[in-house]
Structure formats: C-alpha cells, structure tokens
Amino acid sequence: MLNITIPMWLLLTVAGLPNLCLVLLVLRMMRLRRRKKPALASHTPSDLHPGVDGFGRHIHREILSQQIDTVFTALYTIIESEHMKLTALVNQTRRSVDFAERGGRTIASPQTTSPHPTRDDAPMDTATEPTIISLAEEGLSADDIADVLQLSRAEVALALKVKAAREGRVGRQVRAVA
C-alpha cells in the first residue's frame, strides 16, 4: 500500500488562500461603498446634474413646451375632423328631411358648389323609398338593402330613420342623429 503524507501547513495554505482572498475582496468593496455614500449625500441635486442650470434648464423647458404643443395639436386635429364629420352628417340629414317634406320635388339649393351633384349629394328618388321600406319590412338589413338596390348604406339607413320618424317610432338612433 502506498502511503502519502501531506504536511498540515500545505493543506491549510491550499484550502485557506482562496477563501482569504475572497474575504479581503468583500471587505474592500464594503469600505469603498461606505466612502462613496457620504460623498453622494453632500452633493446637491444641481451638482449631480450640471445640465439643469442655465442653458440646460432653458432647453428642458423648450422640449416640454414642444411636447405639450404636439399633444394639443393632435387633439385639435381630432376635434376638427369630428366637427367636420358631424357637420356633414347634419347637412345630409337636413337635405333628406327637406326633400321628404317637399314630397320628393327637387329645388335647386344655393349651397351646392358644383353644378353636377355627386352620388352622395344627389337626392334619393321617390320611387326607391317605397322599395327600401318594403325590403326592410321583409326583414332585410340596411346593408343588404343597399347591396340589392346599389345605393349607399347611409342613404338606406337615413330612409329607414325618416320612415321611423314619420310613424312616430322615434328611437335612440334617430335621436342620436338629430
């Protein structure tokens, strides 16, 4: 049998040296951290951020002002587009109600800008209104009626709303348009 003798000092040195280095490293890091904390506490916020003074503060205000203006401009654009949509809807509803009140007679309106009316500006024929109503009574939806008669969906929906208003069945949808 082979007998190897390892001296005790060698065993302690090999096992203890890495542990000793690790302990010394941790102690050094703790010492550096303690020195750094008072140094940070003594500084004022302006010392930590030197760009906030003078020119930096002016630039910061300008950037904030531009961001706020951008948000308000976007909101204004959205409000204006919704206002234009609502105005167009109200004008279209007025034209349809005026047309229905005249009994289907067309009268030249001074508000028309173009001499040739487009499909959206052209009033609905009085012959198509009973057709729309009969198809609606059969159970077809406004989209299906528009596809069958090749009319715009808004025109069909408006004819159905006018019919409901004439009959006195004013619902939530008709009130929302008015």
Q: Tell me the CA end-to-end span of the chain in Å, nearest whole number.
A: 109
Residue 128 burial (C-beta neighbours within 10 Å; 0-12, 13-18, 19+): middle
Residue 28 tokens read as: 């050094």
Percent of the chain's residues with pLDDT above 90: 9
Residue 156 · residue 145 · CB < 8 Å: yes
Taking CA atoms, 45 is separated from 33, 39, 62, 124, in Å, by 20, 13, 21, 72
pLDDT digits (tens, 9 = 90+) for 32-43: 888 887 666 666
pLDDT at 87 over 80: yes
> In angstroms, rounded to a whole number, what is the distance separating the alpha carbons of residues 142 and 152?
10
The single-letter DSSP state of residue 32 is H
Count the alpha carbons within 13 Å of 104 in the hemisphere toward its beta carbon.
8
Residue 146: CB partners within 8 Å, gap ≥ 6? 152, 153, 155, 156
Give domain limits for the chain: 73-103+125-177
pTM comes to: 0.29
Q: How confident is the model at residue 116 (pLDDT cuts 50, 70, 90)?
A: very low
